[in-house]
Amino acid sequence: MSFNLLDPSLYDTLLLNPRVFRELVTSQEHSKKTIVIDEIQRVPALLDIVHDLISTSKRTFVLTGSSARRFKQKGVNLLAGRASVYSLYPLSMDELGDAFHLTKALERGLLPEAYFYDQDIEADEYLKAYVFTYIEKEIQQEQWVRKLEPFRRYLQIAAQMNSKIINKLKIAKQVGVQASTIESYYEILEDTLLGFRLSGYKTSVRKQVRLADKFYFVDTGIVRAIEKTLSIPMVKHSSYYGSIFETFIVMELKKFIEYNRLDWTMNYLNTKDDVEIDLVVSRPNAPPLLIEIKSAEVVADEHLKALTHLGRDLDKLHQKACPKILISKDPLSREVNGVSCWFYREMNTRLRSLQQQSISAI
């Protein structure tokens, strides 16, 4: 039995009288069924009923939502200890299989509706509508910001700063608000599941490192829609193309970690001299993975410099050799100067192999 809380009539009914929900799901007709509630955050009061039915009658519920912001309200039942939490992201390379096409994934993103449209113009219109709906309904309707225009300006700047280190003071000056307001804006993006922060790797290597967060949107199509660059062809070998490719790979890794329920943690490492490793992936009982992401179609020595330079310090710090990995569009996977160069399409297969190796070592 399912309840779609985007249905205005159902939403109004249950918002005004949540007891109707209990009466429906405990009726003789539905008393043995699994109950699915979509957009549960719209009527948080239902969580008390769900909690009670799980405790008293061992009922099974599947609750989905696109925003955690309402759950931060005081007194909302979060079903502590009675629910498992899973994240569902846009499509992945593994899910698409032979239907995956890199150019389409980078330009349109991997939201199913956008990815499977026959024409680019249809995908573009969908993504524009997605962003408009997010601003008008999620932000304005819920009154999460006092004024909408500063948030609109911020959103475009946040998209332009995607994958880059956040400078809240600089963004605040551009938007015309306080730095604390910019912090609250980023919290809104996280709470509405549009993106996530990547923290700097806290390490005692000799070099000073940056610790300010980076921010990644969960989908490249969303980034391009917010930036209003959907109609502009992406140029290979440009810095913009490299940034979008990096976002795609970071999200693929995040999906791999969360869908496999791994206790791996992602950070980035950037020194004050601006030497950077895109990802440092910490793993239990194993040295971290050091990962660089390049959109190059042929691996060159210059692509390996950060891994070899900072990798030596991290090897000493962990007293073990940290796996050093370069993910690129070069189809020839190989070892170069102690760095494992992976073709991006082989990434998940090779990560599974590393996962099994770390399990066997325990």
Pull the structure tokens for residue 203.
């390490």
Instruction: Assess whether 191 and 332 both reside in one domain.
Output: yes
Q: Read off the pLDDT of residues 304-314 as tens digits, 9 standing for 90 and up.
A: 999 998 888 89
> Rounded to an integer, what distance in angstroms lies between the CA atom of residue 22 and that of residue 27?
8
The residue among 176, 166, 191 whose CA lies nearest residue 146 is: 176
Residues 6 and 134 in one domain: no
Q: Answer yes or no: is pLDDT of 255 > 60.
A: yes
For 99-110, the pLDDT digits (tens) are 999 999 999 999
Query: At 292, is the pLDDT very low, low, confident or very high (cuts 50, 70, 90)?
Result: very high
Give the span between the Cα atoms of 145 and 143, in whole angstroms.
Answer: 5
Residue 114 and residue 61 share a domain: no
In degrees, rounded to 5, the angle at the alpha carbon of residue 93 between the alpha carbons of residues 87 and 94 is 75
pLDDT band at 44 (very low <50, low <70, confident <90, very high): confident
Does 17 share its domain with 55?
yes
The pLDDT of residue 142 is above 70? no
Residues 6+ apart with CB under 8 A from 120: 107, 108
- 303: nearest Cα among 246, 219, 252: 246
On the question of pLDDT at 204 being above 70, the answer is: no
Q: Which of helix, strand or coil describes residue 71? A: helix
Are 30 and 118 members of one domain? no
Cα gap 319→308, rounded to integer Å: 16
Same-domain check for residues 296 and 154: yes
Tell me the β-bridge partners of 165.
214
Strand partners, 336: 339
**Gyration radius of the chain's alpha carbons:** 23
Residue 6 banded pLDDT, cuts 50, 70, 90: confident
Query: Are residues 244 and 220 in contact, defined by beta-carbon separation less than 8 angstroms?
Result: yes
Looking at the structure, do residues 46 and 150 belong to the same domain, yes or no? no
Report how far residue 230's alpha carbon sits from residue 128's, in angstroms, rounded to the nearest whole number.
Answer: 9
Question: Domain limits at 61?
Answer: 2-72
User: Is 84 a domain residue?
Assistant: no
